[in-house]
Amino acid sequence: MSYFTDLALQYIDGEWRPGNGSWDIIDFNPYDGEKLASITVATTDEIDQAYRAAERHQRAWAETNPYSRRVVFERAVRVIEDREQEITEAIIAELGGTRLKAAFELHLAKEFLREAIQLALRAEGRILPSPVDGKENRVYRVPVGVVGVISPFNFPFLLSLKSVAPALALGNAVVLKPHQNTPVCGGALVARVLEEAGLPPGLLNVVITDIAEIGDALIEHPVPKVISFTGSDKVGRHVATVAASHFKKAILELGGNSALIVLDDADLDYAVDAAVFSRYVHQGQVCMAANRIVVDRSVADAFTEKFVAKVQTLKVGNPDDATTHIGPLINANQAESVTALVDQAVEQGATALVRGTTQGNLVPPAVLTDVPADAPLLRQEVFGPVAVIIPVDGEEEAVRVANDTPYGLGGAVHTGDIQRGIAVARRIDTGMIHVNDATVADEPIVPFGGEKHSGLGRLNGEQMVEAFTTTKWISIQHRRSAFPF
């Protein structure tokens, strides 16, 4: 694929060029192990060059008429539409996403770009009254300047664009570091799309590197004012600590351990469909995935029978095959870690209703029940195709179990009574929750983010204005002030 040869480079100040590091990131296809690209890492000096280029070009971009800025994002949608098949193939190859997953990611990427078109016009100011006679108070919304974006491997194209496009639309410049497992789809391809869409050089810089080479240079650098990070809570905690020590704002979209609750009056067939999608989409490598299926005991047997039957129909294999539901995990470490968690839970007394044999990075779906309350599997995010069914006695226990986690990202409640569902949903300590739907959902204008260890701040819609602009108060005294001395 040409993307993996043409884009295996750094993109700094409008130039495609190799990195100057002493070693290479090797980009592998997680399904068959094929080497896709070899990319020489960027150094701390190149991090500095990227941020300085962004700083140089940002002010002119901020002064550009926002109606002109938004044209770039209109064109970017068309570029993706024109290249949709090529980008789909790249997503399948680089991250093992199925064709269904690639289509889902590209659909959302275009929707977020369309929202960025509107965001360009949303940085509205205010005029506020003053207790001082003759004084006028103006509060302007202005770009923060330069934003550092660190994106993950699971939805790399979408989740890079999700921060990059709004930040640019609002008049900022950006330095983007994609995950080292998805350097092309998460970084270089984003730059190529926006370059083709007419984004002026230097406003978006992509550095492909690793902390082994640059340490905390991307966060500590004096130029960026905001760091937008999507990834694990462990790394997010470090990002937040370093950013705060340098007086930078951190926007953190972190992990989850979502519960999908099935109440005693739920439509079981529909709840099964929602739960299977919520747990197994993209091999379970989704922060919003339903790690825990919490089911009222009165319907638990019937639900479990239907759930297991549907899971057993899921096809595991080549993500390039349109009939495949579950492709590979991103790398061998992830496959081994997920398999070990299942093994540990079974050794501790859990019952495996569905379980297969891991082959390479292909981890077949597992369904567990009777998982001990102190099992690590229940307390942490599981980035793999493992569902845990937990029977409970009524709403109170369902709420207690759903909240018994350090995370608070998303969830779902299934019931035949909408008002009952809303009442339960309001008691779940998460930033997002859905009544009679999947746990996996994202929409461009709805606030996205979590509570507890699931992050800080929100993205999407008006929250993007809050994230990527700041306020500036300018007062005007139309009369002469009287000073006390």
60 sits in the region (left: phi over 0; alpha: psi -120 to 50; else beta) called alpha
pLDDT of residue 2: 83
> Do residues 67 and 170 both lie within one domain?
yes
The answer as to whether 440 is a domain residue is: no
With contact defined as beta carbons under 8 Å apart, do 127 and 109 qualify? no
CA–CA separation, 11 vs 319, rounded Å?
29
Give the pLDDT confidence of 234-281 residue by residue, as tens digits.
Answer: 999 999 999 999 999 999 999 999 999 999 999 999 999 999 999 999
Other C-beta atoms closer than 10 Å to the C-beta of 84 total: 15
Domain range for 391: 258-435
Classified as helix, coil or strand, 399 is helix
Residue 104 falls inside a structural domain: yes
**Which tens digits make up the pLDDT trace of 399-411?**
999 999 999 999 9
The radius of gyration of the chain from alpha carbons, rounded to an integer in Å, stands at 24
Task: State whether 463 and 380 are in the same domain.
Answer: no
Distances from the Cα of 60 to the Cα of 145, 153, 195, 200, 205, angstroms: 11, 32, 17, 10, 16
Pair (238, 312) in one structural domain: no
Q: How far is CA 428 from CA 21, 91, 204, 413, 417, in A?
A: 47, 34, 39, 10, 17
Instruction: For residues 393 and 160, give the distance between their C-alpha atoms in angstroms, rounded to a whole number.
Output: 42
Question: How far apart, in whole angstroms, are the C-alpha atoms of residue 59 and residue 47?
Answer: 20
The pLDDT score that the predictor gives to residue 226 is 98
Task: DSSP for 14-76, please give it.
Answer: TEEE---SSSEEEEE-TTT--EEEEEEPP-HHHHHHHHHHHHHHHHHHHHS-HHHHHHHHHHH
pLDDT of residue 47: 98
23 in any annotated domain? yes
Q: What Cα–Cα distance (Å) separates residue 111 from each residue in 158, 252, 285, 439, 450?
A: 10, 21, 21, 19, 21
**Mean per-residue pLDDT, 460-477:** 97
Shared domain for 189 and 314, answered yes or no, is no
- Name the β-bridge partners of 474: 138
Residue 177's alpha-carbon distances to 117, 163, 170, 290, 370, in angstroms, are 23, 12, 20, 28, 41
Question: Could you tell me if residue 124 is inside a domain?
Answer: yes
Quick check: is 442 in a domain?
no
Q: What is the mean pLDDT of residues 436-448?
A: 97
Kindly state whether residues 51 and 80 are assigned to the same domain. yes
Instruction: Please list the residues that pair with 259 across neighbouring strands.
Output: 292, 411
Indicate if 419 and 459 belong to the same structural domain: no
Task: List, as own/partner pairs, every contact residues 82-88 make where C-beta atoms lie below 8 angstroms and the sequence separation is at least 24, other chains included.
Answer: 83/193, 86/1, 86/2, 86/3, 87/157, 87/185, 87/189
What pLDDT, on a 0 to 100 scale, did the predictor assign at position 172?
98
Contact between 358 and 331 (Cβ < 8 Å): no
pLDDT band of 1, cuts 50, 70, 90:
low
Same domain, 266 and 410: yes
Helix or strand (DSSP H, E) at 386: strand 386-392
262 in the same domain as 249: no
Which residue out of 105, 287, 381, 395 is catalytically annotated? 287
Contacts with 233 (C-beta within 8 Å, 6 or more apart), sequence order: 254, 255, 381, 406, 407, 453, 454, 455
Please write the tens of the pLDDT for every residue from 350-381.
999 999 999 999 999 999 999 998 888 898 99
Which is more confidently placed, 1 or 100? 100
The reply to whether 164 and 271 lie within a common domain is no
Quick one: average pLDDT of 100-110? 97
Query: pTM of the full predicted structure?
Result: 0.96
Is 253 among the residues known to form the active site? yes
Tell me the per-residue pLDDT of 57-73, one tens digit each, with 9 for 90 and over: 999 999 999 999 999 99
- Does 480 reside within a domain? no
| Average pLDDT value for residue range 99-119 | 97
**CATH code of residue 385:** 3.40.309.10
Residues 35 and 73 occupy one common structural domain: yes
| 172-221 residue pLDDT tens | 999 999 999 999 999 999 999 999 999 999 999 999 999 999 999 999 99
User: Rounded mean pLDDT of 369-395?
Assistant: 95
Q: What angle do CA 418, 423, 428 make, to 5 degrees?
A: 120
Report the pLDDT value the prediction gives residue 376, as an integer from 0 to 100. 87
| Structural domain total, the chain | 2
Other beta carbons within 10 Å of 45: 12
Note the pLDDT of residue 6: 94
| Within-domain flag for 316 | yes
Question: Which domain CATH number covers 104?
Answer: 3.40.605.10
pLDDT above 90 (res 461): yes
Contact 203, 55 (CB under 8 A): no
Considering the candidates 115, 213, 253, 381, report the single residue annotated as catalytic: 253
For 133-145, what is each residue's pLDDT tens digit?
A: 999 999 999 999 9
Same domain, 62 and 177: yes
Specify the length of the chain in residues: 485
**pLDDT tens for residues 31-48?**
999 999 999 999 999 999
On whether both 195 and 263 belong to a single domain, the answer is no
94 classed as catalytic = no
Domain membership of residue 85 (yes or no) is yes
Q: For residue 309, what pLDDT is reported?
A: 98
> Which pLDDT score is estimated for 482?
87
CB 403 within 8 A of CB 428: yes
